[in-house]
Structure 1
Amino acid sequence: MFFDAFGTDTFLLLTALLLFSGVLVAKFSSRWGIPSLILFILVGMLFGSDGLGIIYFDDASTAQIIGVFALVIILFEGGLHTKWTTVRSVAFPSLSLATLGVLLTSFIIGFSAYLIFNLTILEGMLLGAIVGSTDAAAVFAALKERNIKAKMGATLEAESGTNDPMAVFLTLSLIELLTAQDQSIWMMVPMFFVQMGMGLLFGIVLGKLASFSINRIKLDSSALYPIFSVAFALVTYSVTAFLGGSGFLAVYVAALVVGNSELTYRYSIFQFNEGFAWMAQILMFIILGLLVFPGQVFTSAIMVNGLLLSAILILVARPVAVFLSLIKMGYSVKEKLFISWAGLRGAVPIVLATFPIVNGIENSQVMFNIVFFIVLTSALVQGSTISYMAKKLHLVGPKKDVPHHSIELISMGKASAEMIQYQVSPESAVVGQKLRDVEFPNRANISAIIRNNQVITPYGETEIKAGDFLYILVEAKYKDQLKKVLEQRVERSASE
């Protein structure tokens, strides 16, 4: 095992160095315009045997376990922050992209790989299945805080959160065909619908159970609630997968249910999962970088043919899949072009590429190297130009105003009260009103107003402005009444 190669002290020191490196490159990734996953992978390659030679790592089984664990955490965090009202409007297009789109992409890339590389037709199709899906970690990270129109962002995030089951199903099915010659692909088709159905069902049921448990259980410390939520994410994946369903789909659906439910300690749960997802993402990509031997990847054969296959993926396979999957679904040509360009590959293909290695498939190492090169190319070329493409296609949305501040409450659940954070939109009826004139519930108190990242002490004469973040302490039973007041809208003229 990889962990046996180091003493405890050395292993902890190396882990700390890898995390420090990951945090530092994450800080500079947006400034340099390079996707963070590229830099994380480069850190792993730097520490690896073909780099500084500090860590020798070639354990595909361990990488697979770490990758699956990290993907569960990342999918759960992404689902928590996804609003159901936004996803609902793009649910069918996203599902079409996640199924038909993945199938078409996999077939085109698989047949191309068969022609370009010295692979059998089944091996080529396996490679196509591995790179067929977009990556949730890459897409969530690329779109975070970028000014992309809401419809585009929702479509891409929903697609990346739900297309893993199809890629996993195709990969495992083709591995089964390669290892058991008597198997038929048609016998495996019903399995896909069973996996998808079970994933959806278990995700909804366990998501509702998680929300109910978080609100009803009384834990001694508020710090235990975020850990409780992560435990539910892991249980959702493992139970669903054990019973033959799609664990990844179940986790994403469960996170949607939890994230769109009324939760006690909501802020703590969300913040913890965001930080945990970052750590999982850093470690996952660094481990995958360690698993790669650059001397094997960056050869003339892999690079030349890999660039050709990457070009086919980016310029042919993905656009064909998007345009065919979104026929008569209300998307303009420009929107389809952008969705095609923003179909990033990332951790999922690399993790899936370890499955053939673990199962002893012939040419599995060659397939892994090709997949790794394709992921690097996709992330570097597409990931670094998403904002540019959005501007060129006139799909830039309003600037995302994310508050860089926080307010913590201790024992909020025991006091049956909650701190509501609300950003005032320009259409809100409270814009321009003084606090004393707004008919807030009697049990609601304005604790703070954040305006232009400055704390405004609220008084009765304080005027509410568009873009303000209101922090309101309210008893749980008056929360619905408060929301009705805040969500009132008025039509304003352009001059206003």
Structure 2
Amino acid sequence: MSLTYQIILIGALMGVFAIVAGRVSSRLGAPVLLVFLGLGMLAGEDGLGIRYNDVSGAYFVCSVSLAVILFDGGLRTQRSTIAVAGLPSLVLATVGVAITAGIVAVAAWAMFGTPPAGALLIGAIVASTDAAAVFFLLRLQKLDIARRVASTLEVESGLNDPMAIFLALLAIEMVAGSGVSLGSGALSFVFEIGGGALIGWAGGRAMVFLVNRLEVAAGLYPVMVVMSALTVFAGTQLIGASGFLAVYVAGFVLGNERHRASQFILRFHDGIAWLAQIAMLLTLGLLVTPTKLLPVLLPALGVACVLMVVARPLAVFLCLWPFRFSMRERAFAAWVGLRGAVPIYLALPAIIENMPGAEALFGVAFVVVLTSLALQGWTVAPAARFLNLALPPSKAHADRRDVDVPLGAQRDIVGYRVLPGSSVLDLPFARLVLPEGATVLTVLRAGTVVTAEALDRLAPKDYVLVIADPEQILTLDRIFASRRRHEGAVAAAGEFPVEADQAIDDFCRLYGIDLKPQDRGRTIAGVLAAAFGGQPVPGDRLAYGPVELVVRGLDDAGAVDSVGLALEPDADRPTIARLIGPRTAALVRRGVQGMRRLAVWQRGA
């Protein structure tokens, strides 16, 4: 009986330590996934001596964890994100994964003489990305990147796991000599992806119906939703379709419909997704014995090198070639193809099936993930700066908290913490201009309710509760957002602002630029909308003669309302200063100047 409590104690302590260590390491820019994985290895057989070799148990933990993580990702994916990046993300998640797997397979076959089926298995298990980790790192370092590339990577990370899992299981069948033909493989793929998408949509609709029709305690809604998500996942897997795609689609459907307890569900799933991430990475870290990785270290590093330098970049450049992505955006997407826990997870079925060389395959996957997290994970933010894709934080970013209201109210209650630099500080409280129908319910200052009659002006850190129509929330976000400028990201949005509703004819005459015939009579906003298929997003850049027009912001209807002008686009090219950051670059310049002065003094002496 004491063993039970020992296991609980050790597991709980590892979880707490992982969270604390992740928080500390994130301040240094270290990938938090690498920290969780490293702690598992540290506690394992070569570290603290915990022996864990239950591969089937690890596969179970990872399957549940991955389903929860993908469901949470679907919950947070908005329709606008799919509208902007749906097609390029789908191409990357299918064709891109296949190209990546194929190139790595050819490299494994050429370098190590691996049989074709085994080489395809190696390529398949390392082909999928964990792009969600990229945005966590960017948020920690207070960076925002061009929305088109950000949305593409976000959706790709939710869609590419099913493709990689299909290829891996197909390769395992080939290695086992099951005689899988190309035709049967294609039919199986169509069934897995199509069936997964259809069941996921139906499951998501069923969740919306249950949440809105079933009267239960508020705390039970998130529990019901996560159990429903696991039901969708497991049921889909049992009939041979992709449960991973199904659970992602179910989350997307639920997340984009109005339903009860939306905030309870989102907050619960935020926490449980982190718990799943920690449980999965600690389990996989415990499963590996670092000393057993030494025999496959060099081959695995070779695979990692091909993956990061050749396969992923080539796949990204080919897949995004038909779409309107700049060279910088494609380069960023190519470099930040971070590998998370999925490649290690995909290597587990080979061990369970007692395949020859399965342990070596597991070691290769582990080394590839460690290499990717260490090299690519640590350089995400510098890469964004280097490629001039780091934008100033959106002007619509506000410190907002949503409050649940009864489903039929058709009104939302939101709370805003007043930030320094917000426009609401400029006017007396009685003269604040809010959207029509929006009403301030109350103002909290230092924990005390302040009545409207006694309030002259809002102050920083005040908490304001507002009731408004759902479509007015973005407008309120802009009103309560901070307008402080952030250094180091201004160039990516253009050096000067220009009026979005200015006629392009007048703009061209002012700057001596040749007007394109098809743009005659349009506004600058209209030209940008036409150039980007009616869906421009912040960060989009359009070369117009010798200058570039940069989308800075959109209004509530999605139309361009803020434009930047880059007079010398060549000045925005990648530089070492952007790679290492402005402060570090300044320190380096001072050091070089000091060395030059010292050299002059020595020559004079």
Instruction: Specify the alignment match of 1:339 in structure 2.
Output: 333
Whether 1:147 and 2:140 are equivalent positions in the alignment is: no
Whether 1:159 and 2:156 are equivalent positions in the alignment is: yes
What is the alpha-carbon distance in structure 2 between the residues aligned to residue 177 and residue 394 of structure 1?
A: 45
What is the alpha-carbon distance in structure 2 between the residues aligned to residue 90 and residue 147 of structure 1?
A: 17
TM-score calculated relative to the size of structure 1: 0.86
Q: Deviations over 1:354-406 (max 9, x none)?
A: 01111111111101101100000001100111110000101112326877785
1:128 to 120, 123, 135: 123
Q: State the SS of the aligned residue for 1:381.
A: helix
The aligned amino acid for 2:213 is R
After superposition, the Cα gap between the structure-2 partners of 1:83 and 1:457, relative to the gap in structure 1 and judged at 3 Å, is farther
1:472 to 466, 469, 490: 466
Unaligned runs of 5+ in 2: 477-554, 565-605
Q: State the SS of the aligned residue for 1:32.
A: coil
After superposition, the Cα gap between the structure-2 partners of 1:74 and 1:124, relative to the gap in structure 1 and judged at 3 Å, is same
Whether 1:224 and 2:217 are equivalent positions in the alignment is: no
RMSD across aligned positions (CA): 3.4
Whether 1:36 and 2:32 are equivalent positions in the alignment is: yes
Q: Deviations over 1:173-213 (max 9, x none)?
A: 11111213433233211111111111111222211221232
What is the alpha-carbon distance in structure 1 between the residues aligned to residue 447 and residue 303 of structure 2?
A: 50
What is the alpha-carbon distance in structure 2 between the residues aligned to residue 195 and residue 89 of structure 1?
A: 25
Whether 1:110 and 2:108 are equivalent positions in the alignment is: no
CA positional deviation for 1:111:
1.4
After superposition, the Cα gap between the structure-2 partners of 1:466 and 1:72, relative to the gap in structure 1 and judged at 3 Å, is farther
CA positional deviation for 1:265:
1.7
What is the alpha-carbon distance in structure 2 between the residues aligned to residue 198 and residue 463 of structure 1?
A: 57
The aligned amino acid for 1:193 is V
1:396 to 390, 413, 417: 390
Larger radius of gyration: 2
Instruction: Specify the alignment match of 1:184 in structure 2.
Output: 181
What is the alpha-carbon distance in structure 1 between the residues aligned to residue 311 and residue 462 of structure 2?
A: 44
The answer on whether the counterparts of 2:438 and 2:466 sit within 8 Å (CA) in structure 1 is no
The aligned amino acid for 1:166 is M
The answer on whether the counterparts of 2:222 and 2:268 sit within 8 Å (CA) in structure 1 is yes
Whether 1:354 and 2:356 are equivalent positions in the alignment is: no
Tell me which moved more, 463-472 or 347-356.
463-472
The aligned amino acid for 1:100 is V
Matches within 5 A, 1:25-424: 25-53=21-49, 55-135=50-130, 138-139=133-134, 141-145=136-140, 146-219=143-216, 221-297=217-293, 299=294, 301-399=295-393, 412-413=405-406, 418-420=412-414
What is the alpha-carbon distance in structure 1 between the residues aligned to residue 563 and residue 158 of structure 2?
A: 39
The answer on whether the counterparts of 2:403 and 2:414 sit within 8 Å (CA) in structure 1 is no
CA positional deviation for 1:63:
0.9
Larger RCO: 1 or 2 (CA < 8 Å, sep 6+): 1
The answer on whether the counterparts of 1:143 and 1:153 sit within 8 Å (CA) in structure 2 is no
CA positional deviation for 1:440:
5.8
Identity %: 35
CA positional deviation for 1:215:
2.1
What is the alpha-carbon distance in structure 1 between the residues aligned to residue 112 and residue 19 of structure 2?
A: 38
1:24 to 20, 25, 46: 20
What is the alpha-carbon distance in structure 1 between the residues aligned to residue 159 and residue 456 of structure 2?
A: 45
The answer on whether the counterparts of 1:113 and 1:127 sit within 8 Å (CA) in structure 2 is yes
What is the alpha-carbon distance in structure 2 between the residues aligned to residue 251 and residue 123 of structure 1?
A: 29
Tell me which moved more, 456-465 or 328-337.
456-465
Instruction: Specify the alignment match of 1:459 in structure 2.
Output: 452
TM-score calculated relative to the size of structure 2: 0.71
The answer on whether the counterparts of 2:399 and 2:417 sit within 8 Å (CA) in structure 1 is no
The aligned amino acid for 1:101 is G
Tell me which moved more, 78-87 or 166-175.
78-87
Unaligned runs of 5+ in 1: none
The aligned amino acid for 1:15 is G
CA positional deviation for 1:34:
1.0
CA positional deviation for 1:138:
3.5
The answer on whether the counterparts of 1:444 and 1:482 sit within 8 Å (CA) in structure 2 is no
Q: State the SS of the aligned residue for 1:331.
A: coil
After superposition, the Cα gap between the structure-2 partners of 1:348 and 1:441, relative to the gap in structure 1 and judged at 3 Å, is same
The answer on whether the counterparts of 1:177 and 1:185 sit within 8 Å (CA) in structure 2 is no
The answer on whether the counterparts of 1:214 and 1:264 sit within 8 Å (CA) in structure 2 is yes
What is the alpha-carbon distance in structure 2 between the residues aligned to residue 200 and residue 435 of structure 1?
A: 51
1:12 to 8, 15, 18: 8
The aligned amino acid for 1:243 is I
What is the alpha-carbon distance in structure 1 between the residues aligned to residue 418 and residue 194 of structure 2?
A: 39
Q: State the SS of the aligned residue for 2:232.
A: helix
What is the alpha-carbon distance in structure 2 between the residues aligned to residue 337 and residue 462 of structure 1?
A: 51
The answer on whether the counterparts of 1:310 and 1:377 sit within 8 Å (CA) in structure 2 is yes
Tell me which moved more, 432-441 or 171-180.
432-441
The aligned amino acid for 2:223 is I
Q: Deviations over 1:58-93 (max 9, x none)?
A: 111111111111111111112212221122211000
After superposition, the Cα gap between the structure-2 partners of 1:456 and 1:387, relative to the gap in structure 1 and judged at 3 Å, is farther
The answer on whether the counterparts of 2:412 and 2:470 sit within 8 Å (CA) in structure 1 is no
After superposition, the Cα gap between the structure-2 partners of 1:399 and 1:15, relative to the gap in structure 1 and judged at 3 Å, is same
The aligned amino acid for 2:268 is F
The aligned amino acid for 1:314 is M
Q: Deviations over 1:310-353 (max 9, x none)?
A: 11111100011001111220011111000001111111111001
What is the alpha-carbon distance in structure 2 between the residues aligned to residue 492 and residue 178 of structure 1?
A: 56
Q: Deviations over 1:87-130 (max 9, x none)?
A: 22110000000001000000111111122335222111101000
How many residues end up aligned between the 2 structures?
A: 476
What is the alpha-carbon distance in structure 2 between the residues aligned to residue 408 and residue 484 of structure 1?
A: 15
The aligned amino acid for 2:71 is F
The answer on whether the counterparts of 2:68 and 2:226 sit within 8 Å (CA) in structure 1 is yes
What is the alpha-carbon distance in structure 2 between the residues aligned to residue 484 and residue 31 of structure 1?
A: 30
